[in-house]
Amino acid sequence: MQRKAELQVWIEGTIVAAIAMILSFIPTNIGSSFSVSLGMIPVTLFALRRGLKAGFFSAFIWGLLHFPLAQVYYLTPIQVVIEYILAFGFAGFAGVFSEKLQQTIKNGEFKKSSWIICYATVLGTLMRYFWHFIAGVIFWGSFALWGMNPWLFSFVMNGVSALATAIATALFLIVLLKINPNLFLPEKGTKFM
């Protein structure tokens, strides 16, 4: 029974990664460097539902899916590892708050649960965009517009994208919490990974 439950979590995480990838095809880009990453919504929900390890797994798979779908912007192998393996995997950090969120949901504390969703979303988004920021400075700095300092350019572009992504993700998840809080709770018998 334990193996079946674990397999269910792995399959669910892979499906979530695929949904995140599909959402990545919705055009939210403004210019060459700013976008809202809608894929963070299902990945953050999954991390909050299943925990840190499962969240890392799903986010990591989301990053890997960029390769067969030719969605990788390649400069160097290290840049690709930073932006598609590390950055996406670290989005799963939202799972740090999963147990706390689930407890507040079980206690019927909507306001507290909403704040936990906000904290988790900000953490997952910051952890992901930290790596995009680093890659922006090291690898994309020579492409900075208007001769801007690479540190400032990467901070502004990744910071605005991270902020917009975090706001969109948190708002959507809070609405989901209001509509169906059970989406954040795993079925009985399944454990956190």
Residue 177: predicted pLDDT: 97
What phi, psi does 34 have (nearest 5°)? -110, 130
Give the tens place of pLDDT for each residue, 2-27. Answer: 788 888 999 999 999 999 999 999 98
Amino acid present at 163: L
The pLDDT of residue 175 is 98
> Cα–Cα distance between 152 and 172 in angstroms, integer?
30
pLDDT at 191: 46
Higher pLDDT, 192 or 128: 128
**How does pLDDT run across 33-53, given as a tens digit for each residue?**
678 999 999 999 999 999 999
pLDDT tens per residue across span 107-140 = 999 999 999 999 999 999 999 999 999 998 998 8
Residue 57 clears pLDDT 60, i.e. is over it: yes
Residue in this structure with the two tokens 């990788």, named with its chain if needed: 72
Question: Average model confidence (pLDDT) for the chain?
Answer: 91
Identify whether the C-beta of residue 131 lies closer than 8 Å to the C-beta of residue 83.
yes
**What pLDDT does 33 receive?**
65
Question: Which is more confidently placed, 35 or 55?
Answer: 55
pLDDT of residue 99: 97
- pLDDT of 32 > 90? The answer is no
Cβ within 8 Å of residue 69, ≥6 positions away:
21
The closest of 92, 88, 41 to 63, measured between CA atoms, is 88
Question: What is the rounded CA–CA span in Å between residue 107 and residue 45?
Answer: 19
Report pTM: 0.91
Find the range with the poorest average confidence among 25-29, 51-55, 170-174. Answer: 25-29
